[in-house]
Amino acid sequence: MAIHRKKTVPIEFIKDEYLGCDYSGENRLMTTMITGAGLVGTSYAIEAAKRGEKVVFIDPIPREDYLAMRLGDADYDVVVDDVRSLPGLLSAIDRYNPETFLHTAGLIGKRVGDPIHFGYDLNISGMMAVVEAVRLTGIKRMLHLSTFGVYDWRRTDEVEAMDENFARGSGTAYSNSKAAQEMILEAYRIECGFEAVVLRPGNVFGMGHFWGGSGGGEKVHSLIEAGVRGTKAVIPEEQTMAFEYVYANDMGRALDLAATQPNLPNGATYNISWGRAIMFDELVDAVKACLPNVDIEIKPGTPPHNRTTPLDVSRAQEELGWEPSYTLEEALAAYADEFRARNT
């Protein structure tokens, strides 16, 4: 296990409610440990930094240039280790004593099934190691990043919108692995008594997608990059289906609320998205509103299967106090501005 430290920036003002107590009883900054140093984890870290919180990432192959780009002078450390290593997790928790643990690491989409034994080893064994580490160390609250892909899309014609009680597991390697993760966490929460919150976002898009990113997020990235650079976005035909989306900045706020809101129902689960399926043509029109000269080519292949049953996001609004702060057009414009600023 290797530890990479980022220089701490002095905090001038921190509200009392964001102070915790260490084992000696002295006030100290709150700390969250995050598996996976990607788009979602850094989106939470940006929000945590606004309140002076330290974050510690656990990632086997962190991209330090990406973290520096995303987090700048925020207070963070990186532990280079595999999420499946229970001894590594315990050592990191002992060193940093986090109050909150956010689990985002894992394979997504078709990568889980290629090959399936490796995808399941990472997603299921990783989850087992995380919940056991949380149990053994007495961490107060665990946040788990699930997905709207956990739902059984074969049954969506049964409802007008999918709330958090809708059937899970569509039969694909990815969907069933996420359903299994949730069930493991549920059993640990009930048997062991720690707080757990599950978030099921739509496709998260934002600055910094690389190989671990979602298909929907990578598609948006391709459109934005092509529009800014003046190149051509080549989109596989199968990726032109309708998708639920959420902008990374709004995803970070949702996680921040899940980490800091007191008195959430234990085991609370929240859909996080705009609450509607966005057709590909609508996405392209929204991109063209801020990047009118974007050049797009559809690569022929498997025709898309549109899933238009929306997510019901009312529970997140009512219990978390969360709703998107960006419209689709505003989110894409902000993404384009950030991409342009960092790449020109």
Counting residues of the chain whose pLDDT is more than 90, the rounded percentage is 82
Mean pLDDT of all residues in 53-62: 96
Band of pLDDT at residue 50, cut at 50, 70 and 90: very high
Greater pLDDT, 16 or 228: 228
Counting residues of the chain whose pLDDT is more than 70, the rounded percentage is 90
Q: Is residue 292 part of a domain?
A: no
pLDDT of residue 209: 61
Q: In terms of C-beta density within 10 A (0-12 exposed, 13-18 middle, 19 or more buried), how is residue 217 classed?
A: buried
Greater pLDDT, 3 or 83: 83
| Residue 251 predicted with pLDDT over 60 | yes
Q: How is residue 131 written in tokens?
A: 């919940």
Q: Cβ(158)–Cβ(121) under 8 Å?
A: no
Q: Is residue 102 part of a domain?
A: yes
Q: Is residue 213 part of a domain?
A: no
Band of pLDDT at residue 72, cut at 50, 70 and 90: very high
Q: Is residue 230 part of a domain?
A: no
Band of pLDDT at residue 30, cut at 50, 70 and 90: confident
User: Alpha helices, DSSP H only, in 193-235?
Assistant: 215-229
Sign of CA dihedral 215, 178, 37, 20: positive
What does the CA dihedral 196, 215, 45, 180 come to, rounded to 10 degrees? Answer: 20
- Backbone dihedral region for residue 106 (phi beyond 0: left; psi -120 to 50: alpha; all else: beta): left
Q: Cβ(117)–Cβ(270) under 8 Å?
A: no
> Structurally, how many domains does the chain consist of?
1
Instruction: Give the C-alpha separation, 226 to 147, whole Å.
Output: 27
| Residue 217 predicted with pLDDT over 90 | no
Q: How far is CA 113 from CA 108, 165, 301, in A?
A: 9, 26, 20
| Residue 205 predicted with pLDDT over 70 | yes
pLDDT of residue 27: 45
SS (H, E, C) 241-302: CCECEEEHHHHHHHHHHHHHCCCCCCCEEEEECCCCCECHHHHHHHHHHHCCCCEEEEECCC
pLDDT of residue 123: 97
Which residues constitute the domain of residue 84? 2-205+246-275+309-325
Instruction: Give the C-alpha separation, 168 to 77, whole Å.
Output: 35
Residue among 182, 331, 255 nearest 32 (CA):
255
* Choice among 20-34, 75-89, 170-184, 272-286 with the minimum mean pLDDT: 20-34
Q: Angle of helix 328-343 relative to helix 280-290, nearest 10 degrees?
A: 50
Q: Is residue 26 part of a domain?
A: yes
Instruction: Give the C-alpha separation, 319 to 328, whole Å.
Output: 23
Mean pLDDT of all residues in 116-142: 96
Q: Cβ(273)–Cβ(208) under 8 Å?
A: no
Sign of CA dihedral 284, 285, 289, 295: positive
Mean pLDDT of all residues in 244-261: 97
Instruction: Give the C-alpha separation, 225 to 229, whole Å.
Output: 6
Q: Is residue 169 part of a domain?
A: yes
Residue among 136, 61, 122, 26 nearest 92 (CA):
136
Band of pLDDT at residue 111, cut at 50, 70 and 90: confident
Greater pLDDT, 13 or 293: 293
Q: What is the CATH number of the domain that holds 22?
A: 3.40.50.720
The rounded mean pLDDT for the chain is 90
Q: Is residue 51 part of a domain?
A: yes
pLDDT of residue 20: 36
Band of pLDDT at residue 307, cut at 50, 70 and 90: confident
Residue among 60, 64, 43, 54 nearest 100 (CA):
54
Residue 199, CB half-sphere, CA atoms under 13 Å: how many?
Answer: 33
Task: Give the pTM.
Answer: 0.91
DSSP character string of 54-113: EEEEE-SS--HHHHHHHHTT--EEEEE--TT-HHHHHHHHHHH--SEEEE--S--GGGGG
Q: Is residue 344 part of a domain?
A: no
Strand partners, 58: 35, 79
